[in-house]
Structure 1
Amino acid sequence: MGLRANPTYRQRRFGAEVRRLRESAGLSVGESAAVMGMRQSHISNVESGRTGLSPERLRALAGAGGDVDTTYVDALVELGQASGKGWWTEYRDRVRPSLLDVAELEAGARMLSCYEPMFVPGLLQTPGYATAIHRAGYVRTSRQQDDLAVEFRLKRQQVLGGERAPRLHAIVHEAALRATLGCPDLMRDQLLRLIEMSRLPNVTLQVMPFDGPVPFGTSFTLIEPEVWELSTVVVGHVEKSLYLGDRSDLGRYGDSFAKMCEVALPPVDATVSPEAHGVKDSLGLIQRLLYPLL
């Protein structure tokens, strides 16, 4: 099998974790090659994500490091053996590779922690809102490209209703909910969708109000699989999102999200009647924004 020309994020992440295992064991490339019975050049290609590694060799490398968490090693083996195929496969060569990477990460997640200061999170957007966002984007694209991107985004939303649906905890700044995008009806439908989605048992929605603390500057999503060490932070950017997997980054963004949960308004609870709200909360704020649009 030839070397991969354009490894996916999952393949690159597997290679990075193999390198971390090697370095934590204090092994050079040559020493790790001897442990696994491989050529040094093969090790370099594995660590760059250009080729894979058999479970037997991976476990041999982990064993050379002494006391390594077997749950983590098992999950890493599974990561390396994954086919990478799913519903998103049919979109290859049609949408940006980064979108395919996000869909694959979401499909294997148990928890999604999302913060959005300017827009409604993609997994909670209506078709109309998603279309308006793409057509008003900073990057000039064709109508066909916009339609395909919206189609892909809406397809991603199915992850919240699957048999192994992850939990989604989203914090949205009030600024994102006040932007009408030039069409009050569009935003009315979007606010109603947020209330509807909050009824799902695996969805938690909080609003960060204007009178709260200074907001975190950029959007991010912490995507956690079953094993926390293999989590990824996707930091939004206009041109190219960042994918962070270092333990320090996971801890830093995880702590930031936890702090925002404490200062944001209490989560939306659509089962509570309006008159029962004794304190300012997320549902009350959404309803206050919604009434003028009805």
Structure 2
Amino acid sequence: MPPSLPPTLRQRRLGAELRKLRERAGLSSTAAAARFGFQQARMSMIEAGRHAVSADRVRAMARSYACADDAFTDALADMTGGRTRGWWDEYREYLPASFADLAELEHHAHGVRVGLVIHIPGLLQTLDHARAVIREAPLQLRAYEVEHRLSHRMKRQAVLHGSSPLPYTAIIHEAALRMQFGGSATVRGQLEHLIAMSELANVAIRVIPFGRGAFPGTGQSIDYVCGPVPQLDTVQLDVAWGCQFIDAEAELARYGAVVEQMEASALDLTESRDFIHGLLRSM
């Protein structure tokens, strides 16, 4: 028998939320397993995201744990079933697992808000800009590793297009717009692409100019990914080894507040578009 695949971020999140519900109900995993007629080991596997669970089972668990939030229960039920392969799974052999998890997270997201100071958001990067950024990664990447990451990043951008495009807000500091990744021609192409993307109904681009002075945040790139209900929101942070995912309630509130404060410091949509046009004219 081939080894089982490790659980995806989505599977782990479902298991973690079921564990939280059980703990809030004051039940041990052994006691909860007994309620549902299976062994404690199976309960542990479910809560680790390593054992598939049906929507009916999730609803039964929520009732048993006295969860009165029907919207939350419905959202959990929608996350059930066996592992469904997406295009991102073909990259698990070549890239850190968190890259595939990020693409899966974006695929199922109900909205994304990002705040960046030094970099253009990955979903808004041109091919040339993305290649220049990836080549400057802290890790010394071989040519084929650069191409794998580049291909993965370009495929992620599909969520912004199609029949049900992802609602996407990008708050970008002027510093990121002025970074000379790839040289002047690449910078010009990137700015032109941002203007074109800002015309899409689902994409909002807000610029924080240098003149706005200090603004909240540490300068770290923040992706705030909205789930079907607020309890299933996720924050994604870029780290040297890939992506870090955060779903603790207090941390979600903290990072959500930072993104909101960054947005409050930014120009409005029209002013932001005019600002990028001005940068292009000055080149």
Q: Taking structure 2 as the reference length, what is the TM-score of the superposition? A: 0.93
Match of 1:161 in 2: 161
**CA distances 1:160-212 after superposition (whole Å, capped 9, x unpaired):** 01222110000011111111125111100000100000000000000112232
Give the Å deviation of 1:87: 2.3
The equivalent residue for 1:43 is 43
Q: Equivalences for 1:19-58 in 2 at 5 Å?
A: 19-58=19-58
Q: Secondary structure at the match of 2:74?
A: helix
- What are the superposed Cα offsets for residues 90-142 of structure 1, whole Å, 9 maximum, x if unpaired? 33312221111111111111211011111000000000000000111110111
166-175 or 218-227, larger mean C-alpha shift: 218-227
Map of 1:80-99 to 2, 5 A cutoff?
80-81=80-81, 83-99=83-99
Give the structure 1 partner of residue 231 of structure 2. Answer: 229
1:258-277 deviation per Cα after TM superposition (whole angstroms, max 9, x unaligned): 1211111112x3xxxxxxxx
CA contact (8 A) 2:216 2:261 kept: no
- Give identity over the alignment, percent: 37
Amino acid at match of 2:8: T
SS of residue paired to 2:94: coil
**Partner in structure 2 of residue 130 of structure 1:** 130
Q: What's the offset of the Cα at 1:82? A: 5.7
Query: Kindly tell me: are residues 169 and 157 of structure 1, through their superposed partners in 2, closer, same or farther at Cα, counting changes over 3 Å?
Result: same
Q: How does 1:243-282 map to 2 (within 5 A)?
A: 243-267=245-269, 269=270, 281-282=271-272
- CA shift for structure 1 position 49: 1.9
Alpha-carbon RMSD across the aligned residues, in angstroms, is 1.9
Q: Which runs of 4+ in 1 moved over 4 A?
A: 1-5
Query: Structure 1 residues 103 and 182 mapped into 2: Cα distance closer, same or farther (>3 Å)?
Result: closer
The residue type equivalent to 1:45 in the other structure is: M
How far apart in 1 are the matches of 2:179 and 2:251?
A: 31
User: What secondary structure is seen at the aligned counterpart in 2 of 1:75?
Assistant: helix
User: Matched residue of 1:139: which SS?
Assistant: coil
Contact (CA 8 Å) 2:112, 2:226: kept in 1 or not? Answer: yes
Partner of 1:278: none
The SS at the match of 1:57 is helix
Deviations 1:35-75 (A, max 9, x none): 22111111112212222223333222211222421221121
Asked if the contact 2:56–2:77 (Cα under 8 Å) also holds between the matched residues in 1, the reply is: no
> Do 1:134 and 1:150's aligned partners in 2 also have CA atoms closer than 8 Å?
yes
Q: How does 1:86-125 map to 2 (within 5 A)?
A: 86-125=86-125
From the superposition, tell whether residues 90 and 82 of structure 1 become closer, same or farther in structure 2 (CA, over 3 Å).
same
Q: Distance in 2 between matches of 1:67 and 1:181?
A: 50
**1:242-290 deviation line (CA, Å, top 9, x unaligned):** 20112222222222211211111112x3xxxxxxxxxxx3223212221
Contact 2:215–2:265 at 8 Å: present in 1 too? no
Q: Report how many aligned residue pairs link the two structures.
A: 281
User: In 2, are the aligned partners of 1:117 and 1:216 still within 8 Å (CA)?
Assistant: no
- Letter matched to residue 96 of structure 1: P
Q: Structure 1 unaligned segments of length 5 or more: list them.
A: 270-280
Aligned partner of residue 223 in structure 2, secondary structure: strand
SS in 1 for 2:207: strand
Secondary structure in structure 1 of the residue aligned to 2:79? helix
Mapped to 2, the partners of 1:82 and 1:202 lie a distance apart of: 31
Q: Indicate conservation of the 8 Å contact 1:72/1:229, yes or no.
A: yes
User: Do the aligned residues in 1 keep the contact of 2:132 with 2:182 (CA within 8 Å)?
Assistant: no
Shift of 1:9: 1.0
TM-score by length of 1: 0.90
Tell me what 1:286 maps to. Answer: 276
SS at match of 1:83: coil
